[in-house]
Structure 1
Amino acid sequence: MTKSYHVWTLSYDRLPKELHLPYILTGYRQPYKPWSYYVISLFHVHNELLNIWTHLIGCVLILFQIYYYHGLYSAEGSELRFTVIGFGTCCFITLFNSAIAHLLHSKSSHANYVIFMYDYVGVVCWGFGTAILALYGVSSHKMYEWVHPNYMLVQLLWTYFNFINICFSKLWYGHDLASKARKRMIVGGISLQGLWNFTPWFPRYFDCYYDTGCQLSSLNHITIVCISFIVMTLAFVLHQPERTWPGRFDIIGQSHQIFHVLVIITMCLQFRALYIDHQLKVNIHCKPEVQELLISILLLNIACIFTIYILSGTVKRKLGTKSK
């Protein structure tokens, strides 16, 4: 179609408040259209277009990372290929779910709530994947032996409850990403889960500091991942540059697009960190069980999707409308 996005889309004041994005004034797709309209919007200009495509391209990139690194580890007979499968699967789910959510959520207020809960499955799945990487990729030997028996089970439960936390943050405070209370719930829950992810590998910094033969720079590959997580989080919470210049970054340059790019960069840095530790032979103690990891990922996704089904009724009651 040759119509400009100004004709094909709407401004924020013509939409239900649940469909508003912080400081984004124009470029909204029309609500209450057939699902095919939103699928076709993949090839139209609107304020979610880059959010969709960054993650779709990211999915392809992650599949390449899995293929590339799995081949390297397999050629050496390393069991870390199973870490790549588990972690990579979680990364792919995260990006795919987000792409679908940004593609379809504009249909209605009810669809926005339910579809973004589907997105949250991906959000927590990446947290679970990071836990897989932490234990079966970059952990210290002593901490691995100590936490290994129960670490993934605790992480599985923690991840699910974090999903519940994020869902309720939306149910209580709506889709307003600028809400400070909602941000505290989301960032707080994810940060607490992240602290548990620190457990297997953070002691490596202390061990290196007190080891005269070790330099902290040898852990730069892990430190860079941590810095990337911090920068990514800042992009999510600050809403810059659109907060300072509302309306100027509606289509290109908004913070959520930057956040998506940083997510993909962080994932790639995580793959890199695993491989550097493999080259340094400091993770030879890691013995991932691919069947256990994949079953855990499957159970997590089933539990989350079943929870969405239950909460969809609560969403209808909250909005006081029927699903379109």
Structure 2
Amino acid sequence: MLDTTRLAYYFPTLSFSFEHDIRTRLQRLHLRARSTFISLQDMSHYPCTSNDIPPILIEPFILRGYRSLNQPWSYYWKSLFHKHNETINVWSHLIGILYIGHLLYYYNQRLKFYENSHSWPFAVSLCTAIIMFMCSVFAHLLHSKSETVHKTCFAIDYIGVSLHGFGSGFLHIYYSAPQWYYDKIEYQYVFILLLLGMLACLSNCFAQYYFCPPYPPLKRICQFLPCGILWIYSVIPLIIGLFPLNFPLDSCSMCHLGQIILFIIGGILFAFDLPQRFCPGALDFIGQGHHLFHLCVYLITLCQMHGVYWDYEKNQKIIDQRSKPHLIFCAGSMICLMLWNIIIVCYFRRYLREKHHVHKK
């Protein structure tokens, strides 16, 4: 218990009780959170259920809150400010864009991106994170217009996932990898990252366009396996730097370990449709696995950027002695991956149009 008498002795001008003030503030915070939650649950929502839309648009164990198909584009843009089963998905990553924009400014003040070429991999990774969040917002907000738009939107989302996986690996190898590992695999590592990024986008687009509801387990294998391989490869520098674990962990090691644990938790929730699998319909608007996965992605990005920045501060003398990375190599590799992914998406879009045309005949 806090000894307010002793505090009053040393600070006699304090005219309020700390205990009372903290208790009051917590009660107000609880009431506001409860009011917000109740308001969200009671807010008018889109009336479509899983019985009213095509199977391709149905999320497993999500029964309500779907938006109508074939509405004007303004209908979907305005849904940003209404309650449906994608509201949390959209806003969680919109907030992510704002947060990464803040980090871009914050780290530019410390690393001087324009002047310090050793900070360019950091800037590239921040840019890929922003693109990933933007692609996700675009996909979750607009995909309900039609089956074709749904496939296109999530193909664009896969571009963002691929880019962020590449940007994460690029960040880890340059700032967090032990020097011996960096010397051994620097350029090969980035080249393999590019290939794995393209494979992740290609495999997800293939699964999205090739398989039809009811989806076989092979669809999820095609989607998650390449992304899992890309993630594992991107965190190898962190794992090498972490183990053997020496407790107590320093701040950057805690961030790296937290990033890995959060990704595993988020991936399990997303892949196995948890927790809505155990209570279908109860978590349609808030609390479903995809919402929690987005929260994990947000926290992963936070841990990643802060942990790597502390690695850079700790190893700055070693990093500054390396050959300076070329801007063309840093930005060019990101742009190269983006262009190849756009070509992949366009190819599958063309395949979908031709398939649709054949069915019409």
- Smaller-chain TM-score bracket: 0.7 to 0.9
Matches for 1:305-316 after TM superposition, within 5 Å? 305-316=342-353
Structure 2 equivalent of residue 51 of structure 1: 89
The aligned length equals 313
Q: 1:304 aligns with which of 333, 336, 341?
A: 341
Q: 1:110–1:319: 8 Å Cα contact kept in structure 2?
A: no
Q: Which has the larger radius of gyration?
A: 2
Q: TM-score, normalised by structure 2?
A: 0.79
Q: 1:9–1:26: 8 Å Cα contact kept in structure 2?
A: yes
Percentage of identical aligned residues: 27
Q: 2:173–2:186: 8 Å Cα contact kept in structure 1?
A: yes
Question: CA distance change for structure 1 residues 118 and 174 in 2, over 3 Å: closer, same or farther?
Answer: farther
Q: 2:261 aligns with which of 227, 230, 233?
A: 227
Matches for 1:34-183 after TM superposition, within 5 Å? 34-74=72-112, 79-174=117-212, 180-183=217-220
User: Is the deviation greater in 224-233 or in 21-30?
Assistant: 224-233
1:217 aligns with 2:249: yes
Q: 2:125–2:168: 8 Å Cα contact kept in structure 1?
A: yes
Q: 1:86–1:290: 8 Å Cα contact kept in structure 2?
A: no
Structure 1 equivalent of residue 24 of structure 2: none
Q: 2:175–2:311: 8 Å Cα contact kept in structure 1?
A: yes
Deviation at 1:174, TM superposition (A): 4.0
Deviation at 1:290, TM superposition (A): 3.5
Listed one character per residue, the Cα deviations across residues 218-238 of structure 1 (whole Å, up to 9, x for unaligned) are 433322221121112112112
Task: With a CA cutoff of 8 Å and minimum separation of 6, indicate the structure with the bigger relative contact order.
Answer: 1
Provide the secondary structure at the position in 2 that maps to 1:38. helix
Q: 2:287 aligns with which of 246, 250, 253?
A: 253
Q: Which runs of 5+ in 1 are unaligned?
A: none
Q: Give RMSD over aligned pairs.
A: 2.6
Q: 2:201–2:344: 8 Å Cα contact kept in structure 1?
A: no
Matches for 1:269-308 after TM superposition, within 5 Å? 269-281=303-315, 284-285=318-319, 287-308=324-345
1:29 aligns with 2:77: no
Q: 2:49–2:65: 8 Å Cα contact kept in structure 1?
A: yes
User: Is the deviation greater in 100-109 or in 62-71?
Assistant: 62-71
Q: Which runs of 5+ in 2 are unaligned?
A: 1-41
Deviation at 1:111, TM superposition (A): 0.8
Amino acid at match of 2:255: H
Q: 2:275 aligns with which of 235, 241, 256?
A: 241
Separation in structure 2 between the aligned mates of residue 283 and residue 264 of structure 1, nearest angstrom: 30
Q: 1:110–1:322: 8 Å Cα contact kept in structure 2?
A: no
Separation in structure 2 between the aligned mates of residue 254 and residue 160 of structure 1, nearest angstrom: 29
Provide the secondary structure at the position in 2 that maps to 1:311. helix
Listed one character per residue, the Cα deviations across residues 187-228 of structure 1 (whole Å, up to 9, x for unaligned) are 21112122322444433345x57xxxx768343332222112
Question: CA distance change for structure 1 residues 302 and 23 in 2, over 3 Å: closer, same or farther?
Answer: same
Q: 2:238–2:256: 8 Å Cα contact kept in structure 1?
A: no
Separation in structure 2 between the aligned mates of residue 89 and residue 193 of structure 1, nearest angstrom: 18
Deviation at 1:36, TM superposition (A): 1.5
Provide the secondary structure at the position in 2 that maps to 1:13. coil
Separation in structure 1 between the aligned mates of residue 93 and residue 219 of structure 2, nearest angstrom: 24
